[in-house]
Structure formats: C-alpha cells, structure tokens
Chain A
Amino acid sequence: MALAAHALHAGWPDGPEVLRGVDLTVAPGEVVALLGENGAGKSTLMHALAGLLAPRAGGVVLDGRPLADLPAADRARRIGFLPQEVHPEFAFTAAETVALGARVAGHGGWLDGPDAPAVRAAVERALAATDALHLADRPLGELSGGERRRVLVASVLAQEPRHLLLDEPGAMLDLPHRVALHRRFRALADAGLGVLFVGHDPTLAARFADRLVLLHEGRVLVDGPPAEVLRPRWLDAVLDDAYLLTDGPDGLPVVVPRR
C-alpha cells in the first residue's frame, strides 16, 4: 500500500508556508526521486511524509489511513526516515548507531548492544548493505563524511521499514558507493518496498528511479518517468541556464553542467 501526500500544505513552526499544495504518491515496488532547487521544500516534504511535521492543510496518508491517526510506534515500523543532516553529539560507534535502528524492527531491547545475539545479524546485514561492515567498531564522529553517511543509511535500512524516505542519502558518497546505493534501492523496491529519495543529480536519478518529481517553490512542477521529466520545458525552471541536456550511451537523458 502506498504513502501519499494529498494537497499538502506544510511549514515549520512559526515559519511561512513552505509546501503549497503538494500531491505525491509512492507505491510499494517503486523508486521515486525528488529533485528541486535549494529551498524548494524537499526536506520539508520528507519531514511531513515521515509524520514529523503536521500538515497545515491537506494530509498524508499511509495505506489508506491518515498518518496522524497511526500510533507513532506503528508508523516507525513502516516508515524509515533519514534526515538530510545528522550530527551525533556523543561517541556512538557505527554498530551502535545501526543497532538503534534495528531495535525498531524488534531486534534487541534496551539492554542489548550491537553484539547481542538478537541484534548482531541484523546490524551486520544492514552495514554490509552499504559496504560499511568494516567500520562497525569505529566511532561515528571519526568517520569520513561519506562513510558516516553510509552508516546512517544502514541504520535506517536496519529498521526494515516498508517505506524508505531518504533525504540526500548519496550526498558525499563517491561514485561507486553512490551507484551501489541506488542499485540497492532498486533491489529493495523489487522486494516490495516504496523508496523515495532526495537528490541533486538528475542524471543518476534517471537511471535508478521509476519516476522523477520536480519540486519548485513548494509545488510539484512535474511528476513522471525520467524521459518525460528531463526536458527543457521543466528543467529550465529548476536548473536555469546551468545545464545542457543530451542523450547518454544507454539511451537515457543526461544533464551536464554548462560552461
């Protein structure tokens, strides 16, 4: 069943309205990429879809029910959310970080660390999924930017949710890891998950997402298959004159920076 925003209006407490009537559906089995300029409202939309920001009008619906009606614990078992920025203040190791996510899926309780029998396998599986198993015992604060990002993505995967909401999961990842991560999204969707990720790379998104959604000034500009969305008609609004559009050797559109 799907996660969907209907005519959603939302903003931050005491702030102006950021989202001004957003419609967006992510169905199981789908990978959807959310693109748009800085400040377009992508992260705001992710927070609203994750149930962390109450709609001012319209609503968010999960499996046909208003998200707000769902007990927080149920919501957490179904939706995994990775914020754009996560700065840990204390010395969590990578494995401890992932164990916090695994706990949501029922692997281990309050007393259990990442080495507990009930937790260990889940933690290792998630870390391996983002090629971060070798980082397990390192403090999160001492990892490189991309390494830390991979551990955080793993911690959300460890929640074993039905829907993934990932705000710039590939930021700071090198190309092989970014590609591996997006292949993983595809595989997860094939296994029945709904995946929505925010990115700033339309070329990459076109290769791994079923649909691209362009968010512009708090509204959905266009929502469709990559070949239909990556057209000057839509891209001009978001990318201005900063790009050239061409076809890649794989037949899919390629957006390159323009000098």
Chain B
Amino acid sequence: MRKPTPRATVGLAALLCLAAVFVAPFVGSEPVAPLRAWSDLLTLPRAAWSPDAAILGLRLPRILLALLSGAGLAVAGAVMQSLLRNPLASPYTLGAATAASLGAFAGVVLGAGAVARPGPALVLAVLDVVLVLAVARRSRRPDGLVLAGVTLNFAFGAGVLLLRHLARPTDLAAMERWLLGSLEAVDAGPSLALLPWLAVGFTLLARRVGDLDQLAFHPALAEARGVAADAVRREGLLAAGLLTAAVVAQAGPIGFVGLLVPHVVRPGTGLRHAWLLPGCALAGGGFLVLADAVARSLDWFGRTSDLPVGVVTALLGGPAFLALLLRRSS
C-alpha cells in the first residue's frame, strides 16, 4: 500500500469531521427528522419549532463544543509529543488536564465566570508542565517525563478531591459531571468562551510550525539550523497548556483524545506540523463529536444514558494507550 500523502490525510480528517458534524445531530435517544428539524430551525422563531427542531437546537451547541474541545486537545497533545520528543506525552499523561481541572474548579468555587475560568486553569496547567519538565530533567531517566506527569497527576487529583470535599453542595452537583469530562451545553456560550483561547493557542503555534518540525527531529540539530530552541519550546508548551486549560475549563478533563489522535494522524502527515496540526485539529474535533454522539445514545441496561463523553473516551483510550505502551517497549 502506498503511504498516504499529508494532503490526502488532512483531506480525510476534514471529511471525517464534516461527516461527524452532519450525522451527530441525528444520533441520540430521541429520533429526529433531519429535513424538518433544519428547516424549522433556520426559518421559524424558536416558539414555533417542531419537537424535532427543538432537539436539534439542543444538540448543536453540544456538537460545537465537542468539535472545538477535540481540536484543542488533539493539537495540544501533538505539540507536547513533538516538543518533548515523547510519544506518550499528552495533556492527560503529563497531568496538565488534571491541574487545569483543579484550577477551573477553584475558579468556580471562587465564583469566576465562564470566560475567566480558564485563567486559574491556565496557571496550574503551565505550573504542571514546568514542574514535569524540571523533575524529568533532574531524574535523568528516559521515562522521567511520563513518571513525573503521572506523579503530578496524582498530586493535582488530590487537590481536586479536597476541593470537592470543601465545595458547596450547589456547586458540587454541576462539578461532578464536569469532572468526568462532559460536553453538556444548552447554548453556544461555552463554545464562545472557548474560542478566544483556542485562537490565541493556534496562532502561537501557527507561527512556529517550521521550528516544530526541526525540534521534533533533534533539538541540537534544530538549534544549529537556526531554531531558537528554548524560546520555541517555552512558547509551544505554553500554547499547549493554554489549549488544555481552555478546553478543560469548559468541558472538564476529557482524557486520551490528546494522546491518541496524534498517533492516528502522524503516520499520514509525517512530522510536518503545517499538516500534522490541522490534521489533528480536524480529526480530534470529529472524533470527539462522534464519541459524544455515542455517549448520548448508548443504552446502558435500559437506562438511556447521556453518559459524560469523558467516560467514552476513557473506555476507548485506556486499551489504546496500553497498546501504545507495549508497541513502544517492543
């Protein structure tokens, strides 16, 4: 079989993404007639919508949030893997997602609004990345990075448990679902709150795609080739932390998307980040939209579930991560 070209891979990811967005609204516990729903939604005032349109109107914000969250997490994961030259790096395995949870949780407890919530999340996510790098460097072992990530994941997880214990019961109900990674959204608010942060993160990275190519190959060679390695690493990890924090603040710590999507896309695009990152954004967004559609529609022992999407990605991602680990050590 011929190796797929980067162009074909990104095209395929775009198709997947489009298909997911068009199919997902019509998947769920309640069947919806697509034509009726769309025509009502687009032509009639909200009060006159058919039930079909009402359901579609409920699902679309969620799909938009899934799309943006998946894109953000997958790109963050790809950048972490390239900059740290470690295929096991991701917002989840490095502890950044849990750190961001703690920050966002603290933000809610302190009363921060949706747009500001990524603030504390970002602070802790970046702190996590800085700590992971420092510990990994001092440990001087090849697996130091992931070990440090796992350790900090526990530490920030303990902080989350503590806050959960201290939180007001009113906050707690909402936070419980959010902590599992949930894309519930009744309107476009969460997506709009996410957008500016994604824009900043993607813009930072777009300026550095060429440098990321060189750094992923070899840091010293990259530096000899004119890449300001330290600055790019700082900026890239900051952008990855920012994407992670922004997504986690709206949708909770959805696991494994950031780890696995780059592994699926990379064989097709290679390490040219001008292709790899858009490919990851499209595939990650499409994947999360589909995963959420599955989560919404699965019938668990008669209980039509509305399962938090984080549970689905974890169920899929756990075994896949294991497979990755085993392939890597062989």
**Which A residues are within 8 Å of any B CB, using their own CB?**
47, 50-52, 71-77, 79-83, 86-93, 96-97, 100-101, 103-104, 109-111, 113, 155, 159
Task: For A86, give its contact among B221, B225, B275 (CB under 8 Å).
Answer: B221
In the bound complex, CA of A111 to CA of B82 (Å):
17
Residues of B within 8 A of A (CB): 5-6, 82, 85-87, 209-210, 213-214, 216-218, 220-221, 223-228, 266-267, 270-275
Given contacts A83-B218, A92-B217, A103-B210, contact A52 B270 (CB under 8 A): no
Are B217 and A111 in contact, CB atoms less than 8 angstroms apart? no
19 A–B contacts, CB within 8 A, in A order: A51-B224, A71-B226, A72-B228, A76-B225, A83-B218, A86-B218, A86-B220, A87-B218, A89-B216, A90-B271, A92-B217, A101-B225, A110-B210, A110-B273, A110-B274, A111-B274, A111-B275, A113-B6, A159-B225
Q: Chain B binding site: helix, strand, loop or mixed by DSSP?
A: helix
- Which residue on chain A has the smallest CB distance to residue B224? A81
Given contact pairs A86-B221, A90-B82, A91-B266, a sample of 20 additional A-B residue pairs in the complex whose CB atoms are under 8 Å apart: A51-B224, A52-B223, A52-B224, A72-B226, A74-B226, A81-B221, A83-B218, A83-B221, A86-B218, A89-B85, A89-B86, A90-B85, A90-B217, A92-B270, A100-B221, A104-B226, A110-B272, A111-B272, A155-B221, A159-B225
Complex contacts, A81 vs chain B, CB 8 Å: 220-221, 224
Hey, which chain A residues are within 8 Å of B224, CB to CB?
Answer: 50-52, 76, 79-81, 83
Looking at the complex, which one of B87, B271, B273 makes contact with A96 (CB distance below 8 Å)? B271
A212 and B24 CA atoms in complex are apart in Å by 70
Q: Complex: how many Å from CA A101 to CA B214?
A: 9
With A72-B226, A110-B213 already in contact, the answer to whether A90 and B266 are too (CB < 8 A) is: yes
With both chains docked as a complex, state the minimum distance between the C-beta of B266 and any C-beta of chain A, in angstroms. 7
Residues in B whose Cβ lies below 8 Å from that of A97 = 217
Bound-complex Cα distance A47 to B229 (A):
15
Which A residues are in CB contact (< 8 Å) with B86? Answer: 89
Question: Which chain A positions have C-beta within 8 A of B225?
Answer: 76, 100-101, 104, 159
Contacts of A91 in B (CB 8 A): 266-267, 270
Docked CA distance A139–B217 (Å) = 13
State the Cβ distance, A46 to closest chain B Cβ, in Å.
Answer: 10
Whether A89 and B270, one on each chain, are in contact in the complex, defined by CB atoms closer than 8 angstroms, is no
